[in-house]
Every structure is written in structure tokens, then in C-alpha cells.
A and B are shown apart, each in its own frame.
Chain A
Amino acid sequence: MQPIIVNSLNKTYGNGQVTAVKDVSFTVNENELFGLIGPDGAGKTSIFRILTTLLLADSGTAKVAGFDVVTGYREIRQRVGYMPGRFSLYPDLTIEENLAFFATIFDTSIEENYHLIRDIYIQIEPFKKRRAGKLSGGMKQKLALCCALIHKPEVLFLDEPTTGVDPVSRKEFWEMLGRLKSGGITILVSTPYMDEASLCDRIALMQSGSIMTIDTPEALTGSYPDPLFAISTEKASMPSILNALAQFEKTKSHYAFGEFAHASFTDKNLSADDIIGYLDSRGITNSRINLIKPTIEDRFIQLATQK
């Protein structure tokens, strides 16, 4: 049985004025870490809220842990853990009190499921008498994850768990997700950070409410259609490089990517030397060009501009 089955979901807001989710279908396999990747406003949170029975879809069906999200919401609420994008624990209760509260409303106790959260909880345990509102961003996320896990959910929903968290805590957080997955929990996670996407088993790239493609991160980057070049130079500014690329008749796509300009070309046989030659003719000298392996972000941009 697949823990999450989503079948052509649609959701609009404001009497159909704003489309949040457009014909979205995907399935998540047991023990899978599945990522919804997309920029803000792609419809990720709406999908989460539909799947956690907080929001009714306009059309389409979805099953979570074997139960329909509309008719089986009671069973689903017993079986899923949800960590909303916004910190939503009681800021005036301590770490320990928040955890105990969420354990008791699921009719369990911290002791009973301590093994599930131990790895995470020991990191915040020294501060267990501190109020949740006074914690740092990373500690808040760890506490929220503990609270979402304390009732031993079958499926875990994490809506942008690492937004606003420092890079070290983000890395730790993803390592924890890996351990949870090996512990037998199915995880649906969303993130706007493309670099985190490669840590998922499979990802769905989303834009403006619809899914562009679903695959493993390796397959997605591997299926990039053209050779991709990274261009940099010490002499010329980024805008002038981009401008030169824009005027090159063989350029297919070009964009700034950190300190490099990434570009692909219509002529697949074009070599790095050809491009250097063109840039020289435009007065951009001493440029360095490498053929690179595309990242998820390159693939996302390619898919988003293709439409």
C-alpha cells in the first residue's frame, strides 16, 4: 500500500480567482523521503493542508495512510505527524510541556515513544525547562519535529522545515530525516531550497500550482537535455557577460548562478573554445568556460522556462 496517493487535486481561493493547486497527482511509496520542490507560491502548503485534512480540495481525491482525506479524516489525524511551515507550538510552555501536551492528546506519553525522538531530543533536552518562544530557530525546528513524531506517525508531513534555519542546523535536520526514514516512516517534505532536493529519494518540481516533473534527483539532473556550461571571467561584470550571451544567436538559455553564468546552446556540438572565441569578439577576454554537471536548480530553470 502506498501511504500517499494524490489524484488530480485542484484548489482555488477567492471563488476561483487564485489557483493554488492545479491538477496535481503523485504517489509516495512506503519508506520514501519525497520532496515537493518549488518557489514560494508554488502551492506546496495548500497540498500539505489538504493531505493533513485541514483544507478541502475543490476536486480530486487523495489518500493518506490508506484513508480518504475527506471521509477518513479521523483515522488520518491519528496516523500522521504535521509540522507546519510556521512555528506553531505554545511559546509560553516549556519544551518539556509542549512535548508532553502533544503526547497526551494522542493518548501516549514521552516515555512510550522516546526511542523515536531520542536522537533529536537529546540535543534540546538540556533546555527542556526553557519556554518554546525563547528558543533559537534551529531548536524550535527540532522541538517541532519531536512534537510531530511523539505519537509514532506512519506518515510525516514537513512543510518547509528548514526555512529560516542556519546552514549547520539545516544539514543536521536532513540527516535526522534520513534516520527517521530508515526507521520506517514515510516522509513528505517541501522546500524552496534546491540544494536540499538532492537529499530526497524522489522529488516533484512544482511551479504555479502544478507539478512539472517527478523523478529521482539523479534522473532529473541526468536527463538535462543539453550540455551546460559555466562561464566566469575576472575582467568583465556579470551583466555584460549575460548581455553578450543574450545576443549570441546560438544561445538557448543563460542565467546567473552564483559567481558563474550558466548557459546552454542550440548547437550541441558547440565547444568551449567556440564560446570563448565569441566572447573575445565581444570584448570579454580571459573568460573560463567549463562543461558542468547540471544541478536540480538548472533542471528547474530549464523546465520552468521551457513552458
Chain B
Amino acid sequence: MRTIRFLLQKEFRQIFRNKSILAMVMVMPIVQLLILPLAADYEIKNINLAVVDEDRSPYSQKLISKITSSGYFRLTGFENNYNEAFRLIEQEKADIVLQIPPHFESTLVRENKSALFVAVNAINGTKASLGGSYLSAIIRNFNGEIRVQLMQPGRFSRVEQVETPTRFWFNPFLNYHMYMVPGILAILVTMIGGFLSALNIVKEKEVGTIEQINVTPIHKHHFILGKLIPFWVLGNIVFIIGLGVSWLVYGIVPQGNIALLFAFVAVYLLAVLGLGLLVSTLCETQQQAMFIMFFFMMVFILMGGLFTSVDSMPDWARVIVRFNPVSYLIDVMRMVILKGSNFGDVRQKMIIIAGFAIVLNTLAILNYRKRA
């Protein structure tokens, strides 16, 4: 125990003298949580719309003003025919072309139905599909309104209509921040823990201090523990700062037990630090360690369920995700913070993460050799 105490004293001294690490730990969670959730917004706004109105009737006017007043679309072209409007798409000035055919209003009144044509530039897939569906939703809504106007009161009941009101649980207004902030916090904790630990033992190798340590009677597991604990503490500090920012800025208060959240992060950090230390024992230079960690981080983040839903991934990808500790943390964060899940709900994930922690740290201790 005495040895560990002095190892920790030494590590903390070094950390507190390293201004850039301190700045990273303090500033990174604040800045990233302030910027990312606001910038990385799933809602698509400012979709450029070109309209070809060949009807020029009150109805077509009404439809266009309804679309532009929705706030999602920006009218960038008002053309006489489809070919001209399509030129706007080619010039990247329009994302969607809405063509209102001649006699739109009169056909609608007389025959009770009419057609519209929508052409979408699908180069940006997300923008195309979301823009297309926003537009159809507005048109559907418009359709409902004029139906009410056109129907005579007596015949109203004869129209069969299935209405599906939806209630969004745990995030009633589909507030994007509620969803993103816990996920980004999970990634922050992972990055701080993973990178700091991965670079640490390698740094001792680069500076040569490991040579001096290796000839001392220090035990391997003492040395690794001495490296693990300081970064575990730092990871928790980042997490506390992050929770504070999400409460102060986004008003997100964990619905579930905050102690459960901390308990899960505590175990999770052991797993991530174990990975970092393992990489650290495998590499000879900080550059190598950095690149290996980047590789893991990219996969972890992009396959962690933060940006894309894990459930919609192909089967083979879902198998990979099962070995991605970040996906468990993102899940648990959202479950506990938004849904108020209790220990029973996250127990399974907790056990898996504990397994990761044990395996990775054991490998790190075994792989750290005091002699070549």
C-alpha cells in the first residue's frame, strides 16, 4: 500500500505540472458539450426549394406559403418550367423541386384528387430523405385542411380516416439535446480516459524513466495501479463537469439514480483505462500509441450508437458493436438520464463492462514486462 501511495503522489504531481492535461480535463468537456449538441443537429433546416407553379391558383399560392412558412425550407427559385428548376439543382442552388401542374386547383375541386411532383437531389442522403418527408408531411397536412373546406358537412362522416396520434415518451418534444448530450458526455469520458492512459506508460518508455523503474523491486500490478487510479479520478472529474454543464446549459437532470450513473461510469472507466494501458504496453512511442487509440476511438464512436442507431446496422456490425464498450455507456447514460432506469435495467450491461475491465487490465499487467 505504501508503494502505491508514493506512486500516486508522483503521478498526481506530474499531472498537476502538466498544464495541457489540466486544460484538457477542464476545458474539453465544457467546450465540447457547449458546441457539439448545438451544431450536430439532426434536424435539417434551410432546405433550398425551387417551385414550378404552372397553376398559379389560390390553392397553389396557399400551398407554397404554407411550405415556406414552415421554417424548414428556403425558397431559392420560382421557375416557369421543370427544366429551368432542374438547372438550379445542377447548380447546387436547390435541393428539392416542387412542381405544381396546370389546373391543380380545378382538378382537385372537380375530381377530388390531384397530383404534385417532387424531385429531390439525393447527393446528401440525409438531407434528401428528411427534406422529402418534411415536404410530404406539409402537403399531407395541406390536403387535410382543404378536405375539410371542400367536404360538405353532411358527407363529412363518410370519409374514412385513420388518425395516429403519437406520444413520445421520455422526451416528449423530441428535443434533440436530450438525446445527444448524454451520448457526447459518454464519448468525452472515453476519450479522456483512453488517450491519457494510452500515452502514459509509453511516455515513460520514451523518456527512459521506465528503465530506472524496472530495476527497482516495484511490483508490476503496483505500477499499473499507480497509473490507473490517477486517470480514473480524472475521468470522474470530467464526468462531474459534464453532468454539471448538461444541467446548467441544457437543463438535463438525470431521471434515474445519480449514484447508479456514477457506479456505472466507475466500472466503465476501469475498462477504458485498461484498454489504454494495454495499448501503452504494446507501443514504443507516443506516436504509435496515439494512432492505435485513434483507430479504436473512431470505431467506438461511429459504431457506438451516438449518431446512428445500432438497431439499424447490419447483423455483422451489431456483433462488432457488442465488443464496443462505448455503446454500453451511451445506452446506459440515456437509459438512466432520460428514462430513469434502475440497477436491474442496467445490470446486464454493468456485468459486461466489468468483464471488459477485468480482461483488459489483466492483459495490460501481463503484457507489461520489466525485462526484455
Could you list which residues of chain A lie within 8 angstroms of chain B, going by C-beta atoms? 49, 52-56, 73-74, 77-78, 80, 82, 84, 86-93, 97, 101-102, 104-107, 147
Q: Tell me whether B371 and A105 are in contact (CB under 8 A).
A: no
Q: Are A102 and B208 in contact (CB under 8 A)?
A: no
Q: Is the CB of A84 within 8 A of B10?
A: no
- 8 Å CB contact of A102 from B13, B14, B207, B216: B216
For B1-18 the 0/1 string (1 means CB < 8 A from A) is 011001100100110011
Q: In the complex, what distance in Å separates the CA atom of A191 from the CA atom of B39? A: 61
CB atoms of A84 and B6 under 8 A apart: no
CB-based contact B208/A104 at 8 Å: no
In the complex, what distance in Å separates the CA atom of A82 from the CA atom of B211? 9
How many Å from the CB of A55 to the closest CB on chain B?
5
Given contacts A77-B216, A104-B2, A106-B216, contact A56 B208 (CB under 8 A): no
Closest to B6 in A: A104
- B-side contacts of A91, CB under 8 Å: 207
Complex partner residue of A53 from B6, B13, B17, B215, CB under 8 angstroms: B215
Question: Which of B6, B13, B14, B214 makes the CB contact (< 8 A) with A54?
Answer: B214
Contact yes or no, A92 B17, CB < 8 A: yes
Q: Which residues of B contact A54 (CB under 8 A)?
A: 211, 214-215, 370-372
Chain A residues lying within 8 Å of B209, measured Cβ to Cβ, are 88-90
Choose one: A52, A56, A86, A93; the contact of B215 (CB below 8 Å): A52
A101, B208: Cβ atoms closer than 8 Å = no
Complex: A141 Cα to B13 Cα, angstroms = 23
Which residue of the partner chain B has the closest CB to A13?
B372
B208 near A93 with CB under 8 A, answer no
In the assembled complex, which residues on chain A have CB atoms less than 8 Å from the CB atom of B208? 84, 86-88
Given A77-B217, A78-B217: A107 and B10 interface contact (C-beta under 8 Å):
no
Q: B residues within 8 A CB of A92? A: 13-14, 17-18
- Between B7, B13, B18, the greatest number of chain A beta carbons within 10 A of the residue's beta carbon is seen for B13
State in angstroms the CA–CA spacing of A91 and B212 once bound together: 13
- Whether the pair A147, B212 counts as a contact (CB closer than 8 A) is yes
Flag if B215 contacts A105 (CB, 8 Å): no
Q: How far is the CA of A86 from the CA of B207 in the complex (A)?
A: 9
B217 touches A93 (CB 8 A): no
Q: Is the CB of B372 within 8 A of A56?
A: yes
Beta-carbon contact of A105 and B217 below 8 Å? yes
> Are A80 and B215 CB-contacts (below 8 A) given A55-B372, A73-B371, A88-B209?
yes
Closest to A101 in B: B10
Question: Is there an interface contact between B10 and A90, defined as CB atoms closer than 8 Å?
Answer: yes
B371 and A55 form a contact (CB under 8 A):
yes
Does B27 belong to the interface (CB within 8 Å)?
Answer: no
User: Cβ of A77: which chain B residues have Cβ within 8 Å of it?
Assistant: 215-217
How far is it, in angstroms, between the C-alpha of A52 and the C-alpha of B370 when the chains are bound?
11
In the complex, given contacts A77-B217, A105-B6, what are 8 additional A-B residue pairs having Cβ atoms less than 8 angstroms apart?
A52-B215, A53-B370, A55-B372, A78-B217, A82-B211, A84-B212, A88-B211, A90-B209
- Interface pairs A-B: 6 shortest CB-CB: A88-B208, A104-B6, A82-B215, A88-B212, A77-B217, A86-B208
B17–A82 CB distance below 8 A = no
B6, B208, B212, B213 — most chain A CB neighbours (10 Å): B212
- Cα distance A86–B218 in the bound complex, in angstroms: 21
**A residues within 8 A CB of B212?**
82, 84, 88-89, 102, 147
Distance of B196 from chain A, by nearest CB (Å): 15
Contacts of B215 in A (CB 8 A): 52-54, 77, 80, 82
A105 and B17: CB pair below 8 A? no
B3:A105 contact, CB within 8 angstroms: yes
Measured between C-beta atoms, what is the minimum distance from B313 to chain A in Å? 44
Instruction: Show 25 A/B contacts (Cβ-Cβ < 8 Å), sorted by A.
Output: A49-B372, A52-B215, A53-B215, A54-B215, A54-B372, A55-B372, A56-B372, A73-B371, A74-B217, A80-B215, A82-B211, A84-B208, A84-B211, A87-B208, A88-B209, A88-B211, A89-B212, A90-B14, A92-B14, A93-B13, A101-B6, A102-B216, A105-B6, A105-B216, A107-B2
Q: Which residues of chain B are within 8 angstroms of A106 by Cβ–Cβ distance?
A: 216-217
Residues of A within 8 A of B213 (CB): 105
Give the CA-CA distance A240 to B208 in the complex, in Å. 46
Closest to A70 in B: B371
- From A92, A93, A101, A105, residue with most partner B Cβ within 10 Å: A105
The smallest beta-carbon distance between A155 and chain B, in angstroms, is 11
Chain B residues lying within 8 Å of A90, measured Cβ to Cβ, are: 10, 14, 207, 209
Complex: A209 Cα to B339 Cα, angstroms: 69
Q: Are B371 and A53 within 8 A (Cβ)?
A: yes
Question: Given A54-B371, A88-B209, are A93 and B14 also a contact pair (CB < 8 Å)?
Answer: yes
* Distance of A69 Cα from B67 Cα, bound (Å): 82
A56 and B371 contact, CB distance less than 8 A = yes
Q: When chains A and B are docked, how far (Å) is the Cα of A90 from the Cα of B209? A: 6
Q: State the Cβ distance, A49 to closest chain B Cβ, in Å.
A: 8
Contacts of A88 in B (CB 8 A): 207-212
Min CB distance B186 to A, Å, is 31
B209 to nearest A CB, angstroms? 5
Q: How far is the CA of A126 from the CA of B18 in the complex (A)?
A: 25
In the bound complex, what is the Cα–Cα distance between A86 and B7 (angstroms)? 22
User: Hey, which chain A residues are within 8 Å of B3, CB to CB?
Assistant: 104-105, 107
Min distance, Cβ A200 to any Cβ of chain B, angstroms? 22
Interface centre among B6, B13, B216, B372 (most CB of A within 10 A): B216
